[in-house]
Amino acid sequence: MNALAVVLALGIATTTADRPNVLFIAVDDLNHWVGYLGRNPQTITPNIDKLAARGVRFTRSYCAAPVCNPSRAALLSGLRPATTGVYDNNNDWRPAISPEITLPTTFRKAGYFVCGAGKIYHEAYSRPSEWDDYLKGVGKDPQPTGDTGVGGIKFAPLDCRDEDLREWKIAQYGIDQLGRKHDKPFFLAVGMHKPHMPWNVPRKYYDMHPLDSIQLPPHRDDDLEDVPPAGVQMAGPKGDHRQILESGRWKEAVQGYLAAISYCDAMLGRLMDAFDRSAYRDNTVVVFWGDHGWHLGEKQHWRKFALWEEATRAPLIWIVPGVTRPNTVCDRTVDFMSIYPTLTDVCGLPTPSHVEGQSIRKLLQDPASPWEQPALTTYRFKNHAVRSEGWRYIRYANGDEELYDERADPYEWTNLADDAKHLAIKAELAKSLPTKDHAAVNVVAAKKKAN
């Protein structure tokens, strides 16, 4: 074990020179359709799977909010949506969250070179002052000619090269930083857009998933019959789903999402190959996370914007020299509010007192360690989901409820909330609901819903 690994294992980093680098990889709209999680056998993600095999991969990891802006604002500030009032894409988080408390600033104050590229915060609201360097001018992706998908669900192959998409430049920025000589530890953030819509990627990625082999995700036509009105409204079955059904192109949409995931995986492969060639392979903490999940027709719902498993579960992988071991699986339930305090913990930095999440360092060291804290996800004002290892409990602002036995019913087809024998389970899970819900803040002109 090298000296840095000993320092990290013992948690005794006291000087800047002792501290590891951080490679912080975010992926937009990536649900649990990755190979190592086994949720969808059609997905092809060799590079994500190889990354997962290098450290600890979590099988029950959940977002703070199933929307790009509040999910990222929560993770990077350490404050949950119910604390800040940042619930949706039309809430400008910047006036609500001081630049002095964020994750990039905490590392910058500790002497790190803090840099990034791509989508880390929601890109509608940027704050360049938090970064020493940030990639600008990535341009726009090429657009397909002719057919572009069904309504708001956008998918079509492109006749172009991998490098014609902005993702190539974002990955290249990370590659270039890894090839540089740094005179102090770095915090390098790389934010991949795909598989965010539109699912327009080079045709070869569509060819990896032939249409005649595409299987629809497990679903039931009557799935919303036991869902209360607030949940049905959130699902919006008469919107995207009805358009997809009427078009007869559900399988094509699934193909598009799978193709976009595979393109993202290829860009991650480029980045990690450069990491392995770099001087920093053995002294860098790597954390890989998706900002939330995505529905593709389950519960007659598309996109995120909901509190069920598909919208809230996303990958989480950690590699910490001297702490994690290869090929380790953790089945404990965590949410992404743990990322900020875990990074400060394993890098030997004090965790700011405002941070609401808990470090999961002990799970990185021993994935079977006791862990009683469930995951909490919030979508808009006073709508919350609590996820333990065995259950999901949803309570909406109007008091409507859903309860699912995740071990017996992993696709959440049977709502048990009205079953009296589960009152104690609901009461226990309800203890993790926020005690205060801040009103929505800083509402700006509506953004495109696909963001």
- For residue 444, the model assigns a pLDDT of 84
pLDDT tier for residue 15 given thresholds of 50, 70 and 90 = low
Q: What average pLDDT does range 356-376 have in this prediction?
A: 97
Whether 218 has a pLDDT exceeding 80, the answer reads yes
- For residue 10, the model assigns a pLDDT of 52
Q: Is the pTM of this model over 0.75?
A: yes
Q: What average pLDDT does range 166-187 have in this prediction?
A: 98
Whether 101 has a pLDDT exceeding 90, the answer reads yes
| Residue 44 to residue 254: CA distance in whole angstroms | 13
pLDDT tier for residue 16 given thresholds of 50, 70 and 90 = confident
Tally Cβ neighbours within 10 Å of residue 16: 12
Q: What average pLDDT does range 285-299 have in this prediction?
A: 98
Phi–psi pair at 364, nearest 5 degrees? -70, -35
Whether 372 has a pLDDT exceeding 70, the answer reads yes
222-244 per-position pLDDT tens digit:
999 999 999 999 999 999 999 99
Whether 449 has a pLDDT exceeding 90, the answer reads no
Q: Is the alpha carbon torsion for 50, 56, 58, 64 positive or negative?
A: negative
Q: Is 160 a catalytic residue?
A: no
Which one, of 65, 100, 140, lies nearest residue 355 by Cα?
100
Whether 355 has a pLDDT exceeding 60, the answer reads yes
pLDDT tier for residue 131 given thresholds of 50, 70 and 90 = very high
Burial of 22 (0-12, 13-18, 19+ CB in 10 A): buried
Range name among 114-118, 122-126, 206-210, 226-230 with the lowest pLDDT average: 122-126
Mean pLDDT of the chain: 95
Give the DSSP H or E segment for 312: helix 309-312
Domains and CATH numbers, the chain: 3-12+20-374 (3.40.720.10)
Buried-exposed string 176-195: b where 16+ CB fall within 10 A, e elsewhere: ebbeeeeeebbbbbbbbbbb
Phi–psi pair at 91, nearest 5 degrees? -100, 110
- Active-site residue, from 63, 68, 264, 330: 68
Cα dihedral 321→322→328→331 (10° resolution):
-100
- Active-site residue, from 122, 196, 295, 384: 122
Q: Is 122 a catalytic residue?
A: yes
| Residue 165 to residue 163: CA distance in whole angstroms | 5
DSSP classification of residue 443: B
- For residue 390, the model assigns a pLDDT of 98
